[in-house]
Amino acid sequence: MIVPSTSIKPIFSVPFEKDRQFVGREDILSQVEEQLQIRHRASLHGLGGIGKSQIAIEYAYRYREKNPKAHVFWVYAASAGRFDQSYKGIARELKLPRVDDPDVDVCELVSDWFNNDDNGHWLIILDNADHSDIFFPSTDFDIPFTQINITKRPLVDYLPRRLNPQHSLIVTTRSRTLGEDLTNGEPSIEILPFAPQEARILLQSRAARMADGQDESDVKRLLEILGYIPLAITQAAAFMRQNRMHLQKYIKALEKDEENLKDHLRAELRDHRRERGIPNSVFQTWRLSFDKIREQEPRAAAMLSLMAMLDRQQIPEKLLQGRDERDVDFSTAIGSLEGLSLITKEVQQDKFTMHRLVQLSVHIWLEQQKEMSSQAEKALALLTDRFPNGEHENRETCELFLPHAQAVLQHQFMSQSSAIHRAILLHNIGWFDWRQGRYDLAHKKSLEAYEINRERLGSEDHQTRNSLTLVALVLRDQGKYEEAEKMNRRALEGYEKVLGAEHPDTLTSINNLASVLRDQGKYEEAEKMNRRAL
């Protein structure tokens, strides 16, 4: 039985009404309840717009229903200023003395009240605690803390020091690390995108008229496009309502052009259930994380940009880590991206996945910085360096890197160096396709590599000769013997002219020509060539 500590009526400072259409998340709410009962503290971390605050709001209302005489305090923690305002509001509601005295540290008054066990039951929700520097400021400089922050001490000093069955703390944050730091190391609960059924219920609750009567496959397709992310679904529902657009038409618009989907990510449609000052668009919400990483962790930002150029699934660790990069530096950078839920580690511990909408948002971010082309060129140079030739001993590596090489090749490149890198990568992919018996694909890639090399480097360059040789080998295995013979003769002419008749590469080219002559039944010519090679 809860006994109020004073004559003060129970305070409930949650600034949002209960969501009568709250969807799912029962497993998360149960985890929060369990952690609070045992440890009295819990943190929720995940992407911006994933629903962390909504879960906290729902829990607060359920807590009040079970504990009608307990206090529930909502503290904005997106900045030191908002934190200070929240604490001053709590002080006034608690009727603490000298709240308006400029010489009094009001945050300390509230902190002292929290640390007094005689003050009954309460729950604090610390919302949007995304910036570690205001809680745990760096000590690497000589500037006094009070000169860089609105409060007199780091914010962590004002949080309750002792928690017990009467007192509980919930933190919502984008950063797993910060969430765990603020809850004395308790494992943070990651909030993931909705399950398909939860996402469907949310869409129908927010855009019932636009979704009613629609084919279930259309609903499923839209949710797949939106990646089951609550904010993206809510924004889509708001757009359809405001524009009286039915679901099927909206899907067609999103699928017609990737730019339309980017426009959806950028759309700023008002959501009254989000804190004032917090962006409403999916992109702007995530950009806060991107900007923070760029400012504080350049290596993690570079890795994020690279991953956005690749296929978003099964990105191998061995492709991301620099050849001379220390394991600890790599782990720190990749851990930062994981901690902000911008990437997830797959079941195979050495591979990572990036959510499709996160990847598109990184593209928007890079475009705004005018860095999309340069990042694509860096990714191309990396794949050119790492993708091996297609011989059998390299099969596993080639298979691992192939989707990412193909994704990188979809980007547009303008520079001379990028053209050469593209040709090298195409050549090695074509080589791998050839060895795997994918002759049509091998021919297409090897021919493009040859044409780039011939145009950029000239017919006598070794890369041009090598790519021409691969074209000839593929044509032979396609059964196109006449074309293969023509290409082999052209390659041999180049080898003889540049390297001479006795060079090993020239002799190999002679053997290749002999083989294709024999395939055509031209045995005398083939024998002549074989004798030349001896």
pLDDT tens digit sequence for 81-112:
999 999 999 999 999 988 888 888 999 999 99
Is a pLDDT exceeding 60 seen at residue 458?
yes
Question: pLDDT band for position 150 (50/70/90)?
Answer: low
Confidence of residue 143 (pLDDT cuts 50, 70, 90): very low
Instruction: Give the pLDDT of residue 7.
Output: 62
Q: What's the mean pLDDT in 385-397?
A: 95
Question: Which of 498, 471, 496, 467 shows the shortest CA–CA distance to 486?
Answer: 471
**Given a cut of 60, is residue 154 above it in pLDDT?**
yes
Cα separations in angstroms, 379 against 101, 319, 344? 58, 10, 20
The model's pLDDT over 31-80, given as tens digits with 9 standing for 90+, comes to 999 999 999 999 999 999 899 999 999 999 999 999 999 999 999 999 89
What band does 147 get if pLDDT is binned at 50, 70 and 90?
Answer: very low
Average pLDDT over residues 1-23: 75
Give the whole-number percent of the chain exceeding pLDDT 70.
92
Neighbouring residues of 354: CB distance < 8 A, sequence distance ≥ 6: 307, 308, 312, 315, 342, 343, 362
What pLDDT, on a 0 to 100 scale, did the predictor assign at position 442?
A: 97
Give me the pLDDT at residue 209, please: 61
pLDDT over 90 (residue 509): no
Is residue 246 scored above 60 in pLDDT? yes
Q: What is the reported pLDDT for 531?
A: 82
Q: How confident is the model at residue 148 (pLDDT cuts 50, 70, 90)?
A: very low
Please tell me the predicted confidence (pLDDT) of residue 142: 43
- Region of 355 (left: φ > 0; alpha: ψ -120 to 50; beta: rest) is beta
Q: Is the pLDDT of residue 4 over 50?
A: no
Give buried/exposed letters for 25-46 (b at 16+ CB in 10 A, else e). Answer: beebbeebbebbeebbbbbbbb
Confidence class for position 276, pLDDT limits 50, 70, 90: low
Q: Which of 263-277, 370-384, 420-434 has the lowest mean pLDDT?
A: 263-277
pLDDT > 60? residue 123: yes
The pLDDT tens digits of the residues spanning 421-436 come to: 999 999 999 999 999 9
Torsion angle (degrees, nearest 10) of CA 406, 408, 410, 412: -150
Confidence of residue 139 (pLDDT cuts 50, 70, 90): low
pLDDT computed for residue 394 by the predictor: 96
Q: Beta 41-45 vs 167-173: how paired, if at all?
A: parallel
Residue 173 has pLDDT above 80, yes or no: yes
Whether 239 shows a pLDDT value over 60: the answer reads yes
Q: Which of 2-11, 49-58, 141-150, 266-275 has the lowest mean pLDDT?
A: 141-150
Lookup: tokens for 163: 């928690």
Query: Is 70 exceeded by the pLDDT of residue 255?
Result: yes
What band does 418 get if pLDDT is binned at 50, 70 and 90? very high
pLDDT at 98: 86
Mean pLDDT of the chain: 89
Confidence of residue 182 (pLDDT cuts 50, 70, 90): very high
Q: What DSSP state is assigned to residue 391?
A: S
More confident residue, 372 or 164: 372
